[in-house]
Structure 1
Amino acid sequence: MALLEIENLTVTFETAAGPLRAVDGVSLAVSEGEVLAIVGESGSGKSVSMLAVMGLLPWTATVKADRMTFGGRDILSLSPAARRKIIGKDIAMIFQEPIASLNPCFTVGFQLEEALRQHMGLRGQAARRRAVELLEAVGIPDPEERLGHFPHQMSGGQCQRVMIAMAISCNPKLLIADEPTTALDVTIQKQILDLLMRLQAEQNMAMIMITHNMGVVAETADRVVVQYKGRKMEEADVLSLFEAPKHPYTKALLSALPDNATGDRLPTISDFAIDDTPYTGAGA
């Protein structure tokens, strides 16, 4: 049985111009120990889909699904209090902008220990020791000193490592990584991806990797969901997707990779040239 199952998820925002459907009938599942990548251009509904799972969308959003379960429990029917016991503990998320996601008014140590107090019942020195262990696990030097630092005193890569430490602090069963290497230089990107995959393997976590970087997909994923205009276009195991993509949008994404360029310029993806009918063959 899948750890997380989503069937026919729709997310609609109320705007001044009228309802805007950001996610339109997306279905996906991820099992324990599996890495699922969700790919697509900006605005395709990748992050919104996962924020709906986390219950972190604003009040202007209406979330509906035929089925949204985690460990067999219906997430959407849970009370806010019951959902809070799962979110941050069994399901954790690494957000796109680490510096913006950390509270600038509190130290790194306070923010790490807050999750440990809330979900693990740790207090005082026990929480501090665990916070130090977490910073050591994600490769931050001088972890005891760093606990007293504020986010602005750390680099973007270090803040991303702190976010990862917070996400894994309660040993989640599912980790959602939303563009975890955005705005980081290539060397730090590699370090962060290696760290995530090591932690995923050590803890046998399920992971959902949200990205538009097909190189990251090839390096990390077991299966891939391709989203376009809020809809799932195609789903396949990672080897099948790269070797024999079925949907025109998937083919266009892969043709835009630098390694696939045939001339001086990379091919562009024309919105008018893409068939947005989902592929419904095997594996979709």
Structure 2
Amino acid sequence: MALLEIRNLSVSFATSTGLFHAVQGIDMSVDPREVLAVVGESGSGKSVAMLATMGLLPDTATITADALRFDGRDMLNLSAAERRRIIGRDISMIFQEPIASLNPCFTVGYQIEEVLRVHLGLGKRERRARAIELFAQVGIPQPEARLSSYPHQMSGGQCQRVMIAMAIACKPKLLIADEPTTALDVTIQKQILDLLMTLQEETGMGMIMITHDMGVVAETADRVVVMFKGRKMEEAGVLEIFEAPAHPYTRALLAALPELATGDRLPTVSDFVDAEALAGGA
């Protein structure tokens, strides 16, 4: 049985000019111990689809689905209280920008201990011990001292490690990593990816890796979902995606990789496929 199963998920937003359809009829699933990469250009609906699954979209969003099941539970019919017991504990998410996701008014120690208090009901001494353990696990030096730091006193890479520690604090069954290496330098990117994959292997959790970086896909994924303009273009195993992509958009996405460029101008997807026509006919 799939850990997460999504069938015919659609998300639209009310705007001053009418409805904007951000996600249209998406199907996807992820199994325990599996890494599913969701790839596509910025604005393709990757993050919106996962935020809808988490129940973290604003009231202006309309979410519909034929099925949305996690670990055998029907997420569509859960009450708000029942959903809160799952989100943040059994399903957790690493957001794109750690500095923006962390509260600047509280120490990082307070913020991670709050997760442990709300979801696990740990006492003060237990919370602190677990927070130190988590900081050490994600490679934050001097973990006990760092609990007293505010987000602005830490580097981008350290803040991302704090976000990872918060996400794995309750030993989730599913971790959603939304562009976890955005805005980090190449060395730190590699460290964060290695850390995530090590944690995934050690805990056996399922993982959804949202990214536009095909190099990250090649290093981490078992299966790949390719999205464009809110729709799923293709789904296949990672080797199949790179060696024999079936959809024209997937082929164009791979052909537009900067490392494959040979001329004076970097290629774009539109150099290989009519993106607007593709969006209309997908």
TM-score range, shorter chain: over 0.9
Q: What SS does the aligned partner of 1:267 have?
A: coil
- Measured after TM superposition, the shift of residue 249 of structure 1 is 1.0
Q: What SS does the aligned partner of 1:12 have?
A: strand
Q: What SS does the aligned partner of 2:177 have?
A: strand
2:187 maps to a residue whose letter is T
Output the CA distance in 2 between the equivalents of 1:89 and 1:128.
18
Q: Gaps (5+ residues) in structure 1?
A: 279-284
Percent identical among aligned pairs is 71
Q: Is the 8 A contact 2:35 2:221 kept in 1?
A: yes
- Residue 168 of structure 2 corresponds to 168
- Measured after TM superposition, the shift of residue 23 of structure 1 is 0.2
Deviations 1:254-282 (A, max 9, x none): 0011332232322112297132344xxxx
Is 1:59 paired with 2:95? no
Q: What SS does the aligned partner of 2:198 have?
A: helix
- Residue 97 of structure 1 corresponds to 97
Is 1:20 paired with 2:25? no
- Measured after TM superposition, the shift of residue 38 of structure 1 is 0.3
Q: Where do 1:251-262 residues align within 5 Å? A: 251-262=251-262
2:258 maps to a residue whose letter is P
Q: Where do 1:100-119 residues align within 5 Å? A: 100-119=100-119
Output the CA distance in 2 between the equivalents of 1:6 and 1:173.
16
Deviations 1:26-73 (A, max 9, x none): 000000000000000011000000000110000000000000000111
- Measured after TM superposition, the shift of residue 113 of structure 1 is 0.5
C-alpha root-mean-square deviation of aligned residues, in Å?
Answer: 1.1
Is 1:179 paired with 2:198? no
Output the CA distance in 2 between the equivalents of 1:180 and 1:206.
16
Further displaced range: 119-128 or 159-168: 119-128
Q: Gaps (5+ residues) in structure 2?
A: none
TM-score, normalising length: structure 1: 0.96
Output the CA distance in 2 between the equivalents of 1:26 and 1:209.
16
- Residue 85 of structure 1 corresponds to 85
- Residue 273 of structure 1 corresponds to 274
Output the CA distance in 2 between the equivalents of 1:259 and 1:183.
19
Q: What SS does the aligned partner of 2:92 have?
A: strand
1:115 maps to a residue whose letter is V
TM-score, normalising length: structure 2: 0.97
Q: What SS does the aligned partner of 2:5 have?
A: strand
Output the CA distance in 1 between the equivalents of 2:157 and 2:128.
22
- Measured after TM superposition, the shift of residue 81 of structure 1 is 0.2
State how many pairs are aligned.
Answer: 278
- Measured after TM superposition, the shift of residue 210 of structure 1 is 0.2
1:147 maps to a residue whose letter is L
Q: What SS does the aligned partner of 2:77 have?
A: coil
- Measured after TM superposition, the shift of residue 140 of structure 1 is 0.3
- Measured after TM superposition, the shift of residue 196 of structure 1 is 0.2
1:273 maps to a residue whose letter is D
- Residue 232 of structure 2 corresponds to 232
- Residue 282 of structure 1 corresponds to none
- Measured after TM superposition, the shift of residue 120 of structure 1 is 1.1
- Residue 74 of structure 1 corresponds to 74
Deviations 1:177-209 (A, max 9, x none): 000000000000000000000000000110000
